Structure 1
């Protein structure tokens, strides 16, 4: 076939390729991370997701958890801070752990210094994210046009407020239109660990489900300041209980089955466990129990 004829046959293909190249790239799929204490046995989570997808069908919804301990704002705050670093700027977090639903508690939207958005009740859920990430702005969600309907249920703001607002922000609506800027919002009074000349004074923040390990507020780096190295035996007292002697180990299998240990968990915090046992139950420890770890 002559060269000229071949070129004529290629012209339609070239035109098609040029047209495709000229088309704007499809917008990135927006990500929304969703957490509640609703559980999975009824339709509440599915209803909220339906609201979100109705406003933004391209939305990618990631379930952080829907089995947060009921009404535990502290656990919710802890999970948000633990998850946020692994998601990119622009991610929207919608959290509904809302014991005060229907009361005069405020709904807020917070933006972090990394450009993530948090849509949640103003009950302290943002506390640990603020400490860890820093906030650039917090707004009071008062613009009723952003709600699902003008009339709100008194008991299901997850559906009526938080889900639609989160979806609108994720699809690119101007988040500053949700309401006025706030200068103060509720923060949980979460104690910080204190190092003295003789000991580390800390607090158990949570019990890790389902294993019963203790999650504390103490940075693992403080163990070195107490003189501890792996293989040493730690002396620790929980609340008003007796002093326990626990090996400082790297992982659970470093001690025999059923034996306790102190270790640094995957988040870099001092933690306590029993190898294939339940430390909290065996020692009668609940969240917010204090402990004293003696200097070596």
Structure 2
């Protein structure tokens, strides 16, 4: 196991919360290498926290410890857990659905419950609203520095017993690909779907094809257009929409040098679904 500790929160960097987590980790061990996944998860958005772990964990060395703190239930009866993924990584997080995407797409090898009374920053017993510092960063640093083993952090629970958010799998039906808009490429406003590239390949869609893209919110059509399946953004004009393959080898929808989500008021989550099919050929006489 390496010494990497990677932090994700919805705290932002406007105050000292993240710095306090760094400080606690360094008090545990000077050898811990602390990095940030992001601290800009939308407040309380467990779905996005879950997706960002799925987006990132697999690209770090085995043994890396992740701490994810998006915790609207802090101080309640929700459990604190640590898991070992099938890829050999560790994640410490509230048991509130933050492991949904990792469990669904990559798999969990084992999950343990952390004792929030005994396994916490010394002298923090009276604080009940900053578990990110007192429990997650503290135990994350202990695990990353090998002060404790994964097995010593808590007792085993059934993997299937942890909280999971609802998900919608991508489907193919009569040449129509259907999936959900899972998250945004935040800075650029592109839509990231859960439709994998191999689904397009199954229906013989190749780069350069014209595709009909339809977006629904709660089953109501909110957008439809024909756009190119492009290999890169440079394949279309500035301001033109396109379908492309994102960094997770899933299908994305974007506008070249503009924000698709802002232009068309498109959101994310299982209430937002998308259909992709080959566009009918138009013959001009």
Q: TM-score, normalised by structure 2?
A: 0.90
- Of Structure 1 and Structure 2, the greater helix share is in 1
Following superposition, the deviation at residue 274 of structure 1 comes to 0.4
Cα offsets for 1:157-201 (capped at 9, x unmatched): 101111111111112112222222111101121211111113111
- Of Structure 1 and Structure 2, the greater strand share is in 2
Contact preservation (8 Å) 2:209, 2:278: no
| Matching residue within 55, 62, 67 for 2:40 | 67
Q: Identify if the C-alpha distance between structure 1 residues 204 and 143 changes in structure 2 by more than 3 Å, giving closer, same or farther.
A: closer
Residue matched to 1:179? 154
Q: How many residues align?
A: 269
Aligned pairs for 1:52-131 (under 5 A) are: 52-131=25-104
Query: Runs of 5+ in structure 2 lacking a partner?
Result: 280-285
Aligned pairs for 1:1-296 (under 5 A) are: 30-142=3-115, 144-149=117-122, 151-172=125-146, 173-183=148-158, 184-239=161-216, 240-288=221-269, 289-295=272-278
**For 1:206, what is the secondary structure of its paired residue?**
strand
Q: Tell me, in whole angstroms, the C-alpha distance in 2 between the residues paired with 1:242 and 1:108.
A: 40
Following superposition, the deviation at residue 138 of structure 1 comes to 0.4
Contact preservation (8 Å) 2:223, 2:264: no
**For 1:181, what is the secondary structure of its paired residue?**
strand
Contact preservation (8 Å) 1:193, 1:217: yes
Q: Tell me, in whole angstroms, the C-alpha distance in 1 between the residues paired with 2:233 and 2:37.
A: 26
Residue matched to 2:283? none
**For 2:7, what is the secondary structure of its paired residue?**
strand
Q: Tell me, in whole angstroms, the C-alpha distance in 2 between the residues paired with 1:99 and 1:145.
A: 22
Q: Tell me, in whole angstroms, the C-alpha distance in 2 between the residues paired with 1:144 and 1:167.
A: 17
Following superposition, the deviation at residue 29 of structure 1 comes to 6.2
Which 4+ runs in 1 deviate beyond 3 A?
none
Q: Tell me, in whole angstroms, the C-alpha distance in 2 between the residues paired with 1:80 and 1:168.
A: 20
Contact preservation (8 Å) 2:230, 2:243: yes
Q: Tell me, in whole angstroms, the C-alpha distance in 2 between the residues paired with 1:242 and 1:90.
A: 43
Residue matched to 1:19? none
> Over aligned residue pairs, what C-alpha RMSD do you find?
1.6
Q: Identify if the C-alpha distance between structure 1 residues 116 and 267 changes in structure 2 by more than 3 Å, giving closer, same or farther.
A: same
Q: Tell me, in whole angstroms, the C-alpha distance in 2 between the residues paired with 1:29 and 1:84.
A: 14
Q: Tell me, in whole angstroms, the C-alpha distance in 1 between the residues paired with 2:54 and 2:223.
A: 33
Q: Tell me, in whole angstroms, the C-alpha distance in 2 between the residues paired with 1:152 and 1:87.
A: 35
Q: Tell me, in whole angstroms, the C-alpha distance in 2 between the residues paired with 1:95 and 1:202.
A: 26
Q: Tell me, in whole angstroms, the C-alpha distance in 2 between the residues paired with 1:156 and 1:92.
A: 19
Q: Identify if the C-alpha distance between structure 1 residues 58 and 166 changes in structure 2 by more than 3 Å, giving closer, same or farther.
A: same
Following superposition, the deviation at residue 295 of structure 1 comes to 4.4
Q: TM-score, normalised by structure 1?
A: 0.87
Q: Identify if the C-alpha distance between structure 1 residues 88 and 200 changes in structure 2 by more than 3 Å, giving closer, same or farther.
A: same
Q: Identify if the C-alpha distance between structure 1 residues 185 and 152 changes in structure 2 by more than 3 Å, giving closer, same or farther.
A: farther
